[in-house]
Structure 1
């Protein structure tokens, strides 16, 4: 506006597609986890997809939906409605793929094992980071001739660069979650970058090898942190994704036919 006042628009149509993509990701992940838990427990009408005896993991349709949604976003020119449709398709595909992220990493089915928790971890972090990006990229549409938009874009760019550098240090110190969040909120990543590294991290191997006192401090701090938070994190993951099977129920055949496990699921 000419008088320098700010115009705030509660609804910015440019953010509708990414918001719908994020919502589709979360809903798809939760619905998929609910279905697999029902199959695992032998409840409901759902069954494995096993054409010709070959188990089809849901990462397969997930990749297909991501390809359709991704290329659709590149080529679509139908306005916000068409963009929203392909965004939902992409979000659904992403939810299916992230639900089997651990399968992609380990190259074998670890869905109901401890390693399978990586899928839940990555999905939660992805949701948080994308949500913060949507909020951080000015949730209200700010329009001002005084140049606030240009200044905001510059500050946002600097924020991303600094956050990425801090995140690298956090990753090296074995603090994956704080590193990911630090890409968007550098202050969070800075805490992880400044504090002692995890004892098994690359940073500890490189810088603490000849400093046993510091390595001992890092080990004690990591033990206190895990004792305080690991139980809460495990209960949260079990609540939304199901508890992993006991080790004696895991193995190649159990992994391949994970959803047809006839044994009762562990308590949640």
Structure 2
């Protein structure tokens, strides 16, 4: 383990990235534990207020992210200062993305269905940074040989091709596939050749006069959501906590 860490993390200068990712994940876990305790009315923790204003933890998160980011840029990739800046940045990013849904909706949706976006953003970020640590480079550059890298034409073509595939997957309504496709070209290719999701820009424009393709897309999306929606929700509930019941749905059931 020590040899692998030295060869694959320390020597390539990825130690700050590893520290930032570790701080990011640990901060998110601790924050979720504390907020769940506050929600349950247990422990010594409570919401922070100043002058009657509830201070969300995204506020110190933004401050720490800015400080850590600028210090990391100024300090380079080596030394204690770089490591410290990476940890500060990771802590700040963990606090910010834990309330990603609040920023997205500009409302306190932390314990609502919309708040699941925060957990999803944290999981996606962790997975992508983990891929970078393992040696994957965005837009398929890692798949190029040394000769290809020296040939700017080949490198630019590979980057442009992978970027185009990711854009097609995004246009087909497959956001997660497009995001991972930036790092893993075969994922982008998979998303680009599959049917678009109903309601996506691709489906609205190209399936408008193709009823069979539109019906197939709807059927495939239905089966996909039916298969994966339940496990995905249970995983999100396990990680971030179960959202509060929607009072609108409760009234409808009555």
Structure 2-normalised TM-score? 0.85
Equivalent residue pairs, number: 234
- Closer, same or farther: CA 245–153 of 1 in aligned 2, 3 Å: farther
Please give the residue correspondences for 1:12-27 in structure 2 after superposition, counting only pairs within 5 Å: 12-13=10-11, 14-27=13-26
CA deviations on 1:200-234 (whole Å, 9 max, x unpaired) are 11111111111111111100000000111111111
| Conserved 8 A contact 2:207-2:214 | yes
| Conserved 8 A contact 2:198-2:218 | yes
2:238 is matched with 239
Q: Which runs of 5+ in 1 are unaligned?
A: 1-7, 139-147, 251-268
2:252 is matched with none
| Conserved 8 A contact 2:64-2:91 | yes
2:224 is matched with 225
**Secondary structure in structure 2 of the residue aligned to 1:9:** helix
1:211 is matched with 210
**Secondary structure in structure 1 of the residue aligned to 2:209:** coil
1:182 aligns with 2:181: yes
Q: Distance in 1 between matches of 2:77 and 2:177?
A: 39
Deviation (angstroms), 1:136: 2.1
Deviation (angstroms), 1:34: 1.1
Segment drifting more, 153-162 vs 40-49: 153-162
Q: Distance in 1 between matches of 2:155 and 2:95?
A: 31
1:86 aligns with 2:105: no
Deviation (angstroms), 1:162: 3.1
Q: Distance in 2 between matches of 1:240 and 1:97?
A: 16
| Conserved 8 A contact 1:35-1:46 | yes
Segment drifting more, 236-245 vs 73-82: 73-82
Please give the residue correspondences for 1:147-158 in structure 2 after superposition, counting only pairs within 5 Å: 151=148
Larger relative contact order (C-alpha < 8 A, sep ≥ 6)? 1
**Secondary structure in structure 2 of the residue aligned to 1:244:** coil
2:57 is matched with 58
**Secondary structure in structure 2 of the residue aligned to 1:200:** coil
Please give the residue correspondences for 1:27-38 in structure 2 after superposition, counting only pairs within 5 Å: 27-38=26-37
Cα RMSD for the two superposed structures: 2.3
| Conserved 8 A contact 1:72-1:86 | yes
| Conserved 8 A contact 1:160-1:184 | no
1:48 is matched with 47
- Closer, same or farther: CA 106–96 of 1 in aligned 2, 3 Å: same
| Conserved 8 A contact 1:159-1:184 | no
Deviation (angstroms), 1:123: 1.1
Segment drifting more, 11-20 vs 188-197: 11-20
| Conserved 8 A contact 2:136-2:183 | no
Q: Distance in 1 between matches of 2:83 and 2:228?
A: 38
- Closer, same or farther: CA 149–45 of 1 in aligned 2, 3 Å: farther
| Conserved 8 A contact 1:99-1:119 | yes
1:97 is matched with 96
Q: Distance in 1 between matches of 2:104 and 2:224?
A: 26
**Secondary structure in structure 2 of the residue aligned to 1:69:** helix
2:131 is matched with 132
Q: Which runs of 5+ in 2 are unaligned?
A: 1-5, 138-144, 250-254
**Secondary structure in structure 2 of the residue aligned to 1:123:** helix
